Each structure stands twice: as C-alpha cells, then as structure tokens.
A and B are shown apart, each in its own frame.
Chain A
Amino acid sequence: MMSNLFLHPALPLLVGSTLIFIVKTKVNIISIVSLIISFIFLLLLPIGSNTDFILESMNLKIISSTKLSFLFCLVFLILGIVGKIFSIYQKSISEKSLVLLYIASAVGVIFSGDFIVLYIFWEMMAISSTLVIWSSSSPSAMKSGQRYLLVHLIGGLILLVGILGMYSETQNLAIRILQLDEWYTWFVLLGLLLNAGAPPFSQWVADSYPEGSYSSTVFLSAYTTKTAVFVLMSTFAGTKLLIMVGIYMIMYGIIYALLENDIRRILSYSIVNQVGFMIVGIGIGSELALNGTASHAFTHIIYKGLLLMSAGSVIFMTGKRKCTDVGGLYKTMPLTATCGIIGAFAISAFPLTSGFISKSMILEASYYANFEIVWLFLLIGSAGVFLHAGIKFPWFVFFHRDKKIDTSDPPVFMKTAMVTLSFLCIFLGIFPSHLYSILPFDNSYIPYTANHVVSQLHLLVFSGLAFFMSLKYLERTLTITLDIDWIYRNKLIFLDNLYEQINKTVSNLGRIIWSSFSKLRLEYIENVLLNQATITVMMTIILFIFATILLLNV
C-alpha cells in the first residue's frame, strides 16, 4: 500500500510551501493550487486506508484514514483555500509559505496512525505556527511568539514523556482510546489539553493569536486547537474529567471576553469558549456527543474564520485593533458588517445558521447521559456566547459610538472570501443533512423541531436584553486583564531574570575566553547570539533533533 503514501493530503502543501520559498513569485497561485491538489488527494484517498512506512525496524503509520479524519481534513482545506483567497493582498512571502507548512503539519497530525508520527507533526505544527506569528514582524508579535513557543515546547515535552512512557510500558504506540489508570496517560492527556487551550494555560490563545497579521490570525485560529480536539476525540473519548475541564473553558472564555478591549482578543477568548463545548462533548463520549463535537468543530472553524476575517478587514482598512478606537463602521463597511453579523449569529447558534445544528447535539447528549447539571452549565454557556461574541463583537465594532472613521469595504478578494464563508454558515444551517452525512457515527438527530427553535430564540433574545440593559457597565476601557501568564511575563521578571542570568554568565565566560580576540566579536555574541529569540529558536531546534533521535532509537 505504498502508493497511498503519495496521496497524503499534506504532501502537496509541503511541496507548495517549499516552492514558494524557492521561486518567490506567483505565491498566491502556488498556494491555492497546492491546496486544491491536496483537496483532490483527500477525495481520492479511500476512507479506512492504512499506509505504513517501514523505516529499518520501525513501522510508522503515516496514513490512517477514518471518517473523522476525512471530516477534519475537509474543513481544514476549505478554510485553507478561502483563507488564502482572503490573504491575497498580504505581501509577506514568508507568511504565505509558513501558513502552508502549518496547514500541512495539522493535516499530518489528523492522518497519523501512531504516536510517533503524531509527535513529529505536532512539533512541526508548534514551530510553524510560531513562525507564522513571527512573520508579522511587529515587536509585540516577536515577544508573544516567544511566549507561545515556550508554552508549546513545554506541552510537547509533556506529550513526549507520555509517549515514551507508553512505549516502555506497553510497546504499543497505535492511537487508541486510553484510560486514565496509568501514569503515562496523564502526561499524554496534559500534553494534548495544553494545545486545546485548557486550564490553567488557556491564556496563550488570546495572547498570541491576535498578534499575527490581519490575515494569519484567520489560519492560526483554526488548526492548533482543533487538531487537539481531533486527537482527544480519538484517544480520550468518554473521560469524565474532560467535562469539568470543558465547563471551565466555557466560563473562562466568556468572562475574559467580556472584560477585553482588543477586537481579535475577544474572538480568541471565544475560541477557548467554543473548544470548551467540544471538550465537554468528548468527555460525555456517547455517539451523539462525539457527532456533536465533530460537527461543532466543523462549523466552528468556518464561522470563526468568518469572524476573524471581518475583524481582519477592519484592521486592514482602518489600522485600528481596539474596540475603543472603532465604532459605527456599518455605514462605511456595510458588507464587512453584514458578514460579521452572520458569523456572530452563527456562533450564537441562531436558527438557520450553522451553530444551531451542531452545538445543540452536545447539549442534548449531555442530557441523555444524565448530566443535568452539565446541561444547565452548557445552557449558561450558550447564553454567554451570544453575550460576548454574538452581540459584543458586532456592537462595539460596527455600531455603538460612531467614530467617523473614513474608510470603505476591503478589496474584492477579501470580500469574496467573507461572502463564501457567510454562505457556508447559512447553507449548513438550512441543509444540515450535508454535514450529518459525513459524521463519524450514524446520525438521526433532528435540529429543527418547533420546541428547539422556540426555546433557542427565547434564550438568545432575553440574553440580548440583558446585554443592552447593562450596556453602561460593559463600556470598553483601555485595559487588559491579568492572567496566569503574569507569572512569566516581564512584570514579574521571573523569566527575564533567568534570561539575564544566562546572558551574564555566558557573556562573562565569553569575556574570559574571547578577551584575547577583538572587541567586535564580543559584541556580536552579546547582540546576536544571546538575544532571547535566538535562544528560543536554538532550544527548539535542539529539542526537535533530540526528540527525533530518541524516537528513532526506542
């Protein structure tokens, strides 16, 4: 079955990514064509095919295709293509190439059949997404990219320990449902959850994603967290602990988003919130719940992409990224506002939008599994989603106080991308059977019953009433909200001190050793070799090589 190896959907993306770096012209055509080829490969790849790659004594399961991986890969590529159309005006070539690499590694993770292949793509994803953040090249992006990498390197290490433990205990690295009764499964779970944005390190999502460029945030929002959801679905379905974790994430996302001022950070907090719903679904673990999780991931990627595109358009056209700086844009950017509102309605699960047909499956599953308390929390969550993403985002950006900003809708390709995703949101909402037919389990769920529509409308409209009644207290201020990253950010000097210590020690050592050489070299060491970014990159490369050697030796 080696022939299937050449049908791996990540392959054209890797080729395209390299090609862009080499030719540096016609980058948009290359990226879109490679995504389309990858799409064709996905359709050609038979579901249920397994392809092993024999490497000396090792047997690497590079491709393990299931209905679930088909679903995830499909939505990854849809967002990839539409996102690439959206980012046609982006000039940074490195961003375009790295985004393809990032998508390729995410696709690699979801097709991997054992933990070794998964780990290699997992680390590739961490590094490429960091480079995507760095490619926006603003000083704040550099710093938050470092923090992002730090979190993901630690997460990767925890996962590696878990995988090595699993190998030494069972000699079986196939991806399968794990029970939390061995020490190594805890490590695997922690490593995976960290990428999903679970507590206590949920803040990396809102810390780093908004620092990407206006176009790269669209891609960043989709892949890392959702691959984590995918892997959790195939390894920890039915682990009750995840229900608690998910509920925490739902509440965390809402509360922090309500306090936030940065437009894209509000949307990033709502990623944590939405992934929380999916984690609860995984924790419940019934067929209905897993179907709900899969379809919610599918619809979420589309409407979140749409929301971030409309936020990206605002940033692209006005250069402003804070709620306090914008307002009243519906007059000058009518199409962006309409698409943003459609996305906001979809995320709040209004009837006739895609959120309505997916989220309610998780709610119903929680009820059938006799978790009434969980159901109530999810209901609070649903009302809260409308509060922070459904109304707050469009209200403060497109309405509220008119700041009289002279601008217009974005250029044609950006509009096309937004309209396509808006269409998908509504299409899936009206014809859910298209999505239901590709779900991993047979699905008999009917979303459009009179009771469901009525109760959802009641819930949402009265949440809206609560928002407008307390509008005075929700007035945006020029503030940020502290989070767990306070521990390792420069205010507490924790890491900075450490870095400084390393800097001092090494440069003192260097002074002794290099003093006989010219002064120039000393400055070179201090300025270039020892700055934080270089250290982080070097750490990554060393770690990656180390991990690969370790994995090939076991």
Chain B
Amino acid sequence: MKTRKNIIYSLVIITSLMPYLYVFYDFGKIKFSIDHYVGFYPIFGFIACLLLIIIAKLIGVFLKREDTFYDE
C-alpha cells in the first residue's frame, strides 16, 4: 500500500507540473484543427480513458464468467 501511495503522490505532482509544458508549445505550428485549445490533449486523454473503463465494465457485466467456465 505504501508504494501505491507514493505513486499517487508523485503522479499528483507530475500532473500539476504538466501545464507548464505549454512553455515549449508553439501554437503557431499546430498541425491539427482541434489542438489549438489549451488543455485539449490532457482532457481528451483523461475522458477517453474513463470512458474506456466504463465501457469495459459494462461489457464485463454481461460477458464475465468464472475462469473455470470452460473447464468441465
């Protein structure tokens, strides 16, 4: 449990430092139409992952079985 706490703390620190990376970001050179919004990538990544987990959970409700399901 201690490792988990350490990882979560360091993750909080890393994520809070992430916005400063925009110092290097050149908005004049964007390639894609959507990514000139500040925070597009972090928000998109976060929401996409939450959605994937929710979808996986929903599918799991229907399709999960004991792992001895095929053994008989």
Report A's interface with B, CB cutoff 8 A.
254-255, 258-259, 261, 328, 364, 367, 372, 375, 379-380, 383-384, 386-387, 399-401, 449-451, 453-468, 470-471, 473-474, 477-483, 489-491
> Which residues of A lie under 8 Å from residue B26 when comparing CB positions?
450-451
**Interface residues as binary, B1-35 with A (CB distance below 8 Å gives 1, 0 otherwise):** 10110011001001100100110111001111111
> Which residues of A lie under 8 Å from residue B1 when comparing CB positions?
401
> Which residues of A lie under 8 Å from residue B65 when comparing CB positions?
479-482
What is the distance, in angstroms, from B5's C-beta to the closest C-beta of chain A? 11
The answer on a CB contact under 8 Å between B22 and A387 is: no
> Which residues of B lie under 8 Å from residue A482 when comparing CB positions?
63-65, 69
Task: Specify the main secondary structure of chain A where it touches its partner.
Answer: helix
> Which residues of B lie under 8 Å from residue A387 when comparing CB positions?
49, 52-53
The answer on a CB contact under 8 Å between B52 and A372 is: no
> Which residues of A lie under 8 Å from residue B7 when comparing CB positions?
399, 468
The answer on a CB contact under 8 Å between A463 and B49 is: yes
> Which residues of A lie under 8 Å from residue B43 when comparing CB positions?
462
Task: Specify the main secondary structure of chain B where it touches its partner.
Answer: helix
> Which residues of B lie under 8 Å from residue A379 when comparing CB positions?
44-45, 48
> Which residues of A lie under 8 Å from residue B52 when comparing CB positions?
254-255, 258, 380, 383-384, 387
CA distance A259 to B55 in the complex (A): 10
Q: Which 6 A-B pairs have the closest CB atoms?
A: A466-B49, A458-B41, A459-B45, A258-B56, A462-B42, A462-B46
The answer on a CB contact under 8 Å between A457 and B53 is: no
The answer on a CB contact under 8 Å between A450 and B18 is: no
Considering only CB atoms, which chain A residue lies closest to B39 in the complex?
A458
Of A258, A455, A480, the contact of B41 (CB 8 Å cutoff): A455
The answer on a CB contact under 8 Å between A463 and B46 is: yes
What is the distance, in angstroms, from B71's C-beta to the closest C-beta of chain A? 9
> Which residues of A lie under 8 Å from residue B44 when comparing CB positions?
379-380, 383, 459
Interface size class of B (residues with CB under 8 A): 35 or more
The answer on a CB contact under 8 Å between A464 and B11 is: yes
The answer on a CB contact under 8 Å between A255 and B55 is: yes
> Which residues of A lie under 8 Å from residue B32 when comparing CB positions?
367, 372, 375
Considering only CB atoms, which chain A residue lies closest to B28 in the complex?
A451
The answer on a CB contact under 8 Å between B29 and A451 is: yes
Instruction: Jot down 7 A-B pairs with beta carbons below 8 A, ordered by A.
Output: A255-B59, A258-B56, A384-B48, A458-B45, A463-B48, A466-B49, A466-B50
What is the distance, in angstroms, from B21's C-beta to the closest C-beta of chain A? 5
Of A454, A459, A481, the contact of B22 (CB 8 Å cutoff): A454
Q: A400-B4, A450-B26 are in contact. Are A455 and B35 (CB under 8 A)?
A: yes
* A-B contacts besides A465-B46, A482-B69, 6 pairs, CB < 8 Å: A255-B56, A450-B26, A459-B41, A466-B45, A466-B46, A479-B66
Q: A451-B26, A454-B22, A466-B49 are in contact. Are A478 and B67 (CB under 8 A)?
A: yes
> Which residues of A lie under 8 Å from residue B51 when comparing CB positions?
380
What is the distance, in angstroms, from B58's C-beta to the closest C-beta of chain A? 10
> Which residues of B lie under 8 Å from residue A481 when comparing CB positions?
59-60, 63-65
Of A254, A399, A458, A478, the contact of B18 (CB 8 Å cutoff): A458
> Which residues of A lie under 8 Å from residue B21 when comparing CB positions?
454, 457-458
> Which residues of A lie under 8 Å from residue B4 when comparing CB positions?
399-400, 471
The interface centre, meaning the residue of B21, B33, B51 with most chain A CB atoms within 10 A of its CB, is B21
Considering only CB atoms, which chain B residue lies closest to A480 in the complex?
B67
CA distance A468 to B67 in the complex (A): 25
Of B45, B60, B70, the contact of A462 (CB 8 Å cutoff): B45
The answer on a CB contact under 8 Å between B41 and A470 is: no
The answer on a CB contact under 8 Å between B49 and A467 is: yes
Considering only CB atoms, which chain B residue lies closest to A470 in the complex?
B53
> Which residues of A lie under 8 Å from residue B25 when comparing CB positions?
450-451, 454-455
> Which residues of B lie under 8 Å from residue A471 when comparing CB positions?
4
The answer on a CB contact under 8 Å between B15 and A465 is: yes
The answer on a CB contact under 8 Å between B45 and A451 is: no
The answer on a CB contact under 8 Å between A473 and B48 is: no
The answer on a CB contact under 8 Å between A468 and B8 is: yes
What is the distance, in angstroms, from A120's C-beta to the closest C-beta of chain B? 34
Q: A367-B31, A451-B26, A451-B31 are in contact. Are A459 and B42 (CB under 8 A)?
A: yes
The interface centre, meaning the residue of A380, A400, A460 with most chain B CB atoms within 10 A of its CB, is A380
The answer on a CB contact under 8 Å between A259 and B60 is: yes
CA distance A367 to B52 in the complex (A): 23
CA distance A490 to B59 in the complex (A): 22
> Which residues of B lie under 8 Å from residue A455 when comparing CB positions?
25, 35, 41
The answer on a CB contact under 8 Å between A462 and B15 is: yes
Of A399, A460, A462, the contact of B3 (CB 8 Å cutoff): A399
Considering only CB atoms, which chain B residue lies closest to A372 in the complex?
B33
Of B11, B31, B63, the contact of A364 (CB 8 Å cutoff): B31
The answer on a CB contact under 8 Å between A450 and B24 is: yes
> Which residues of A lie under 8 Å from residue B67 when comparing CB positions?
261, 478-480
The answer on a CB contact under 8 Å between A457 and B60 is: no
> Which residues of A lie under 8 Å from residue B3 when comparing CB positions?
328, 399
Considering only CB atoms, which chain A residue lies closest to B56 in the complex?
A258
CA distance A481 to B11 in the complex (A): 31
CA distance A45 to B25 in the complex (A): 46
> Which residues of B lie under 8 Å from residue A466 when comparing CB positions?
45-46, 49-50, 53
> Which residues of B lie under 8 Å from residue A490 when comparing CB positions?
70, 72
What is the distance, in angstroms, from B23's C-beta to the closest C-beta of chain A? 9
